Structure 1
Amino acid sequence: MPMNFGGEAIPASFRELVEGRAADVGVSGDDWLASLPGIVDHCVRQWSLRLDGPVWHGQCALVLPCHRDGEPVVLKVSWPHEEARLEHLALQNWHGRGAVRLLAADPAHWAMLLESVAHDADLTDPPLLDAIEVIGGLFTRLDRPATPQFTRLSECAERWITLCRSGSRLVPRRLTDQAAGLLSELAPDCDGRLIHRDLHYENVLAAQREPWLAIDPKPLSGEWEFAVAPLLWNRWDHAAAAHNVRTHLRLRLGVVAEAAGLDESRALAWTFARMVLNAVWEAQEPIPDDEWISQCITIAKAMTD
């Protein structure tokens, strides 16, 4: 790959994800894409990198394999959005223990230099319950007190209560009312631990330093029971094929709760609330995804007795 990173090197599939996005914390998707080649070139110069290998991406970030001083490293540049604002700080707090190691950060450009891991080897392939046990183990590896910079889960919950009380015509009122009630009960005592709120199967990659490392943290000061829900809505094909979807989903939750030493009743409550919130958010989209709303409601109902 040439030293200068041109706009033509941005994958079309990534452009489609970012183009048209409204500004979150300062820049629209279109404007950011236009500035991206300059950001990459700036990072290459300041960290003495050599671009090396095909570019890959997630939903909001471009990832570029590089070498520095002969060692493989990874340059990650994110579209500026609130959930990624303190990603570098979370990785700094974890110091590579259970998570990919942060080598350097440029917060002004939403860029990080990371250790190299196998981006094509994640937890979507191992047996489902084995994968859940791995992630439960990572909950305990990553657990530590949250520093004051992180958004508190209780602050989020107060906003979500208002959202649930407003409701949506696409989500049963009894579910939004129940979610508002649960959030009111959970919010007073839910802060204090540094959590990865999006720790699902594709956000855990194989590595040499440890068998599995978490990536892409969406950090919060909260409690780990809140982080269970993504393990239920991802790898949905297993749930769809289950003889009894409720039993299957409750088994998933029970496995991660046991592996991580969680309070299962709070995990059930947070998962219910998150799934109702996901349904309400989707219902606000100009063209809601009815299948996703139905999936969210199915998981929410499975969390109730």
Structure 2
Amino acid sequence: MLHLPDSFRRAVTGRAPDAPGDPDGDTWLGRLPRLVDDHLDRWDLTVDGDPWHGENALVLPVRRGREQAALKLTWPHPEARHEHLALRLWDWDGAVRLLAAAPASYALLLERLDGDRDLTALPFLDACEVVGGLFTRLDRPATPQLDTLQGRAVRWREQLAEPTPLVPRRFTEQALAALPDLLADAPAPRLVHEDLHDLNVLAPLDPARGDWLAIDPKPVAGEWAYAVAPVVWNRPDELARAHNLRAHVQLRAAVVGEAAGLDPDRVRAWTFVRLVLNAVQTAGGSERAEEFRSRMIALAKAFAD
């Protein structure tokens, strides 16, 4: 019988559907035991340990015969819709290997990685270099199924133009002014992992697979300069300890960008825009939401003109 970690149940309970036709969090949690059983049967799997989880997905260590693997079931939301497509396009190179997929159920069978060893095991600058190196390994032409930054910008402009007392007006105005130039001067769209950061890079169990592999792709058609921001806003404990926050986070972005061969001006501009959008899009007045919004505003200040 499936035992859901309490922390995962709390993370998903009460969520509204993320898109028309998708289940809310409570409905999906009610379906999850059956989904697990269905896919264990479908792929002839045996559970082989305790589950792991992130904010949106439950991961079960499994075996198929002697082969170690991981069964991932994700709460349906638009960012995860094309995860299987990105993993197929990367074809093991720099990313976790996809063994099988049931896209309609948001279920993936993946190679098993070392879930206890992510990039937080490294000093932050070393981790930034690893992430930048993965940018170059994962770089592929975009495919037509993916959301585009150009398409998303329509909604972003509306959000940034809507007055809010929770985010400094000068930040929303600067981000709104930066978008047209960023989009007009953008290179040909690439397949980009827009959420590649320390916790989404794990060590493989097989040394032949290299030192580090990307997981949990959030694919978008855009440019890699757009993808640096998550490295800036993650590892919040180190952000809190930084003597000079501006220098600390600008160094993070610069190291990732240099390792990936990116234009530093575009890295800074996209990072600022994403930080401001995060602050504007943060919903609710919970303590957690307020902490996240405050962190985004403080980080945006470090990249503001």
Instruction: Return the TM-score normalized by structure 2.
Output: 0.94
1:237: Cα distance to partner? Answer: 2.4
Corresponding position of 2:78: 82
Aligned partners of 1:154 and 1:188 also within 8 Å: no
Q: State the alpha-carbon separation in 2 of the partners of residues 293 and 32 from structure 1.
A: 28
Aligned partners of 1:129 and 1:255 also within 8 Å: yes
Q: State the alpha-carbon separation in 2 of the partners of residues 163 and 119 from structure 1.
A: 36
In the alignment, does 2:30 pair up with 1:34? yes
SS at match of 2:141: coil
1:21-46 per-residue CA deviation (whole Å, 9 max, x = no partner) reads: 11124211111111111111111111
Give the stretch that moved more between structures: 238-247 or 228-237: 238-247
Corresponding position of 1:22: 16
SS at match of 2:273: helix
Q: State the alpha-carbon separation in 1 of the partners of residues 245 and 62 from structure 2.
A: 43
Identical amino acids, percent of aligned pairs: 54
1:105-159 per-residue CA deviation (whole Å, 9 max, x = no partner) reads: 0011110000010011000121110010000000000001011100001111221
Q: Which amino acid aligns with 1:244?
A: N
Aligned partners of 1:98 and 1:213 also within 8 Å: yes
Aligned partners of 1:167 and 1:280 also within 8 Å: no
Q: Which amino acid aligns with 2:242?
A: A
Q: Which amino acid aligns with 1:76?
A: K
Q: Which amino acid aligns with 2:292?
A: W
Task: Name structure 1 gaps, 5 residues minimum.
Answer: none
Q: State the alpha-carbon separation in 2 of the partners of residues 281 and 108 from structure 1.
A: 28
Counterparts of 1:1-305 in structure 2, within 5 Å, are 5-6=1-2, 9-25=3-19, 26-190=22-186, 192-207=189-204, 208=206, 209-282=209-282, 284-287=283-286, 289-305=289-305
1:188: Cα distance to partner? Answer: 2.9
Q: Which amino acid aligns with 1:33?
A: L
Q: Which amino acid aligns with 2:302?
A: A
Aligned partners of 1:15 and 1:33 also within 8 Å: yes
Q: State the alpha-carbon separation in 2 of the partners of residues 39 and 236 from structure 1.
A: 34
1:196: Cα distance to partner? Answer: 0.6
Aligned partners of 2:56 and 2:74 also within 8 Å: yes
1:286: Cα distance to partner? Answer: 4.1
**Aligned-residue CA RMSD (Å):** 1.3
1:249: Cα distance to partner? Answer: 1.2
Task: Name structure 2 gaps, 5 residues minimum.
Answer: none
SS at match of 2:192: strand
SS at match of 1:21: coil
SS at match of 1:59: coil
Q: Which amino acid aligns with 2:220?
A: L
Q: State the alpha-carbon separation in 2 of the partners of residues 127 and 83 from structure 1.
A: 29
Aligned partners of 1:161 and 1:184 also within 8 Å: no
Instruction: Return the TM-score normalized by structure 1.
Output: 0.94
Aligned partners of 2:171 and 2:304 also within 8 Å: no
The aligned length equals: 298
1:236: Cα distance to partner? Answer: 2.4
Aligned partners of 1:123 and 1:131 also within 8 Å: yes
SS at match of 2:121: coil
Q: State the alpha-carbon separation in 1 of the partners of residues 297 and 285 from structure 2.
A: 19
1:59-103 per-residue CA deviation (whole Å, 9 max, x = no partner) reads: 011100000121101000001011101111111110010000000
Q: State the alpha-carbon separation in 2 of the partners of residues 23 and 260 from structure 1.
A: 36
Give the stretch that moved more between structures: 185-194 or 61-70: 185-194
